[in-house]
Chain A
Amino acid sequence: MVNLGIDIGNLNFKNPVLTASGTCGYGPELDDFFDVSRLGGIVVKGTTIEPREGNAYPRMAETPSGMLNAVGLQNKGIDYFEKHIYPEIVRYDTHIIVNVNGNTIDDYVSLSERINRLEGIPAIELNISCPNVKRGGMVFGTNLDSAREVTKAVRSVYKKTLIVKLSPNVTSIVDFARVVEEEGADSVSLINTLLGMAVDVNKMRPSLSTITGGLSGPAIKPVALRMVWQVAKAVKVPVIGMGGIMNATDAIEFFLAGASAIQVGTVTFIDPVAPVKILEGIEKYMIDKGFSDIREIIGYLNK
């Protein structure tokens, strides 16, 4: 038996495989394919106080080894979530983490307060890195003062595990990780998508309605891995790594580089059972290599 359990803040996860926000719905969509209670956690779709319709179609473009999206945080708002979605997903035997978004610091604060009251939600992921909204999102995550301010404000009202999701679209992601750590974040998750663009040469116009969008998939994995490695060396809080993980080997690269947990994202669009396959593959690697605890390989490169 290998121990795959890890801790993020005061929260223990039975294993380090989580599904990334925006790539797993709320859980039931994947529960149609496998038992989602096997996962360490589910980070549900980006949520806002008010319902949002998101951006206009087309919102997606396939690119080499990846894809661009410009969904724009479409969601039904916190009231709907609390009333209709939360009661259904709270029964899963896994940590449900809500990805929190807003236009203003007040939005982030009041949403975090609302979620703090939901007993079955042990953590939030503060999304200061969505590239597809005009206000909020990446605006907070690409300015050090704003990142500090929003983390501080949320920390003062949110009592459970606080994860801050960082943007790669900055000169030094390490600086952002340090700032949110200083303001009390229990963990940082990285990376959100890289800002990108595609052009339809037949129609002679941008492929996305929003012109630019967020690049994800294996195309971004080397960038994500480098950033996780840098951040893991620079901060004391656990790092949750993501970006282009397609299989267990990719996931293990992130652990060796310093990630305490990983999030599986875009691959789920192509292979809905990828999260469990990755979990099984990590366990097999541990057994094959003679490790008994996942913590033996976390940050191995930096030891």
Chain B
Amino acid sequence: MTKRVEDLKIVENKLLTDDFCVMELESMSKIPDFKPGQFVQVKIEGSPDTFLRRPISVHDVDFIRNRFKMLIQVLGKGTAMLYNLKKGDYLNVVHPLGNSFSIPAGKQKILLVGGGTGIAPLLFLGKYLKNRGFEIEYLLGFRNKTRVILVEEYTNVGKVHIATEDGSVGEKGLVTSHSALKSENISIIYCCGPDPMMHSIADYCRKNNINCEVSLENLMACGFGICLCCIVETTRGNICTCTEGPVFNIRELKW
């Protein structure tokens, strides 16, 4: 039994904006040995419209207190119900799911690129890499000043570069036009964000011969490889994002 279904207690649900929250969950037993990039499937109770679980990235982990955090953006009914949960409520979770970002061999300059709610797994990843002696920097993209979240948390881990579409914070434009991306000697980029962003980062990395991994967010029903709904086209054929991913090296992807 390597995976489990478990009721976890919400120890905090911190509302960051009117559509973003960071929820911290606690297990009564030892939490799984989460790896950066993995996700959990959370059950949305009491609504027939939200029949399926919602896949949510592991944002941060406290192995000592058996807690982990999720960054949640309200995008529909299911995430709206999660946003409204309170401290003390319980959430039914299936975990741990998915693969993880790879840990580079030897010292290399690593850039973690995220956009919107896609910044979620990069906090855990950044801490994980930093603890193993890697030098990392963040490049985070947001729509505008009011959408910029969690910068302090990321700054504690590594240098943070910000891009906003209107230039209200950091450089104006998308992450793909940010000067930090052009800095020399970046050998690895780990990226999670909206599809168009990951596509342009992948294009950039291909052109510049940079090793790149992206974390995909395909629609899924189960999250553990039995429904075959979340497939992505790869050099190995159609494979499940939930079990073979969500993290893929762009060399494998047919986009």
Q: What residues of chain A have their CB less than 8 Å away from a CB belonging to chain B?
A: 22-25, 29-30, 32-34, 45, 51, 53-54, 57-60, 62-67, 69, 71, 74, 217, 266, 268-273
Contact = CB atoms under 8 A, between A and B. Distances in A.
Nearest to A33: B3
B224 A29 contact: yes
A71 B237 CA distance: 14
Given A57-B233, A74-B228, A74-B238, 10 more contacts: A22-B228, A23-B226, A33-B5, A34-B1, A54-B228, A60-B220, A60-B227, A71-B227, A217-B51, A270-B52
Given A62-B52, A64-B48, A53 B4 contact: no
Contact of A32 (B1, B49, B51, B221): B1
B224 A67 contact: no
B215 to A, nearest CB: 16
A22 B50 CA distance: 21
A67 B228 contact: no
A23 B51 contact: no
18 contacts: A22-B227, A23-B227, A25-B225, A32-B2, A54-B228, A57-B230, A58-B229, A62-B50, A62-B52, A64-B48, A64-B49, A65-B48, A67-B221, A74-B231, A266-B221, A269-B221, A269-B227, A272-B3
Interface centre among B3, B52, B221 (most CB of A within 10 A): B221
A269 B49 contact: no
Interface string B212-226: 000000111110111
Interface in B178-235: 218-222, 224-233
B221 A69 contact: yes
A213 B60 CA distance: 38
| 3 closest Cβ pairs, A-B complex | A60-B229, A269-B222, A25-B226
B205 to A, nearest CB: 23
Nearest to B227: A269
B43 interface: yes
**Interface secondary structure of A, over-half rule:** loop
Contacts of B59: none
A30 B226 contact: yes
B1 A33 contact: yes
Nearest to B226: A25
Contacts of B250: none
Contacts of B127: none
Interface in B113-130: none
Contacts of A45: 228
A32 B1 CA distance: 4
Interface of B: 1-5, 43, 48-53, 94, 218-222, 224-233, 237-238
Contact of B228 (A32, A71, A273): A71
Given A32-B2, A67-B51, A59 B228 contact: yes
A96 to B, nearest CB: 15
Contacts of B218: 57
Contacts of B53: 269-270
Given A74-B238, A270-B53, A69 B5 contact: no
A210 to B, nearest CB: 12
Interface centre among B5, B230, B233 (most CB of A within 10 A): B5
Contacts of B226: 22-25, 29-30, 268-269
A59 B51 contact: no
B154 to A, nearest CB: 31
A89 to B, nearest CB: 14
Contacts of B237: 51, 53
Nearest to B241: A57
Contact of B219 (A60, A74, A271): A60
B51 A57 contact: no
Nearest to B48: A65
Contacts of B222: 268-270, 272
B17 to A, nearest CB: 22
A115 to B, nearest CB: 21
Contacts of A71: 227-229
B76 to A, nearest CB: 9
Contacts of B225: 25, 29
Contact of B5 (A53, A57, A60, A272): A272
Contacts of B230: 57, 60
A30 B228 CA distance: 14
A59 B229 contact: yes
Nearest to B41: A270
A103 B226 CA distance: 23
Given A33-B1, A34-B1, A64-B51, A270 B43 contact: yes
A110 B49 CA distance: 43
Given A23-B227, A54-B238, A66 B5 contact: no
Contacts of A30: 226
